[in-house]
Amino acid sequence: MIPLVITFILLIALGGMWGLASYEGAHAQALQAQALITANQTTQVSVIGQTVLSVVLAGLVLLILFGVAVWLFQTRIKQNQHVQVRQGWQSGPNARWQKSGQFAGSTDPALEMSPQALLVQQQMMQQQILTLWMMRQMGQPSEMAALPVATALREPQTLNIQSGPPWWE
């Protein structure tokens, strides 16, 4: 009977150890499940944080690009207005319909002409005046042709257009 009692005690001890091992295994699985839930929650918080950060950074980059585009646009408008004021006609509802920019008596070096250019311009104007005077003299009597200064002072400075063919044809 002693071997039977020892076998019985061993079976009870073995059953207790098996029960204890099952309990510890279940407890370990429960802790593992809880750790998995915590890891999932941490991952969700991390994903939300990364998404918010990405949206904020994308918005910041777009805001900076928009600011640069507006600055470039404003700079271009100012340059165009500056060029238009210096070279073009005034426009808009308050325009005085006059050429804008530098007026007579200005000291802008870009508008000043060189002495050679002024001489050429003066010679061209004298040649045009002489040509017009000679064309007028072709149709007048000879006594008037002898007094070019008096004729030029008496007559208006307009060119009379004749209906006939020109004198050189």
* 4/8 Cα distance (integer angstroms): 6
pTM, full prediction: 0.36
Beta bridge pairs of residue 48: none
Residue 54 within a domain:
no
Residue 77 within a domain:
no
Residue 123 within a domain:
yes
Residue 160 within a domain:
no
* 163/169 Cα distance (integer angstroms): 14
Residue type for 153, please? L
Q: How many domains does the chain have?
A: 1
H-helix segments, the chain: 2-87, 115-138, 142-145, 148-154
pLDDT by residue, tens only, the chain of 169 residues: 898 899 999 999 999 999 999 999 999 999 999 999 999 999 999 999 999 999 999 999 999 999 999 999 999 888 877 655 555 555 666 665 555 554 555 555 556 778 888 889 899 999 999 888 888 888 765 555 555 554 444 445 455 555 566 566 5
Residue 125 within a domain:
yes
Residue 128 within a domain:
yes
Q: Is residue 90 a contact partner of residue 100, using CB atoms and an 8 Å limit? A: yes
Domain containing residue 136: 115-151
Instruction: Assign 169 to helix, strand or coil.
Output: coil
